[in-house]
Amino acid sequence: MKVAVVGATGLVGTKMLEVLAERNFPVTELIPVASEKSVGKKLFFKNKEWTVVSATDAIAAKPAIAIFSAGGSTSLEWAPKFAAAGITVIDNSSAWRMDPSKKLVVPELNADALTREDKIIANPNCSTIQMVVALNPLHLKYKIKRIVVSTYQSVTGTGVKAVTQLMNERKGIQGDMAYKYPIDLNVIPQIDVFLDNGYTKEEMKMVHETRKIMRDETIRVTSTTVRIPVIGGHSEAVNVEFERDFDLREVKSLLEKAPGVVVVDNTAKQEYPMPKDAHNRDEVFVGRLRRDETQPNTLNMWIVSDNLRKGAATNAVQIAEYLLEKGLV
């Protein structure tokens, strides 16, 4: 099982390698790929040294799977070339997510849609993944009408430069800025660029991706995405309106049984999900479950997950695991 990781030296690419090793994915040969300036560098995977190669050399090596985490422009240029060589691409960028010919996959929800013919598979946005994992069991029971979500997203969602900015500010050091404004002791109500409708690209990703993954275009979604001074882990306040009424005890039971979900919801002991508790975990944590008292059939909930793991690397590796299990690669 030859596996290429494109963008292997980046923040998410490094996490991809970590997750592949942790989950004992049966990699017989790793093909790490990065930009031309990194070609020839060495990295360690499973106590062995591997040499970073170019994308062209990676295609020539004919891996079964290529996991991409090198940005949208790289994916648009290279994913079709890998796919044309018969290599199955799992892409972590936004390049292919809303392409109607490509599957957008969260294994707990819709991996059953994958076939051998799917050579470019899209990995969803981190904030969308954790939300749909938590909402899907409730959607199947009560049918979602409308979602109002506000996110509180960590700086690792931006990358190494943003982490450096935050840590520099905490130490009083002047340095490169990933954001227009300071992030320490601040929150920035903008993630990605603004669109003509006044929403950011990140906010609209959550709208469109949620409908596609949950296979229901009737779900209405509105989103506000915010960057906060936290190193890792995204949090979300979600208000969800259902067509059918629910019992809170049943909601909790459904979530407790749902794959990939951990319920942390004991207000008597002040127990609820926090980013620090989700760090280096693959589960989606859910708490603060309570009925919206202003309108019928509506639930408030708090959702937390490690954005580099379930929000990116782990979800991609889970897709690869499914493909292998079903003999699709």
> Annotated catalytic sites, by residue?
126, 234
Q: Which residue has the tokens 């997950």?
A: 305
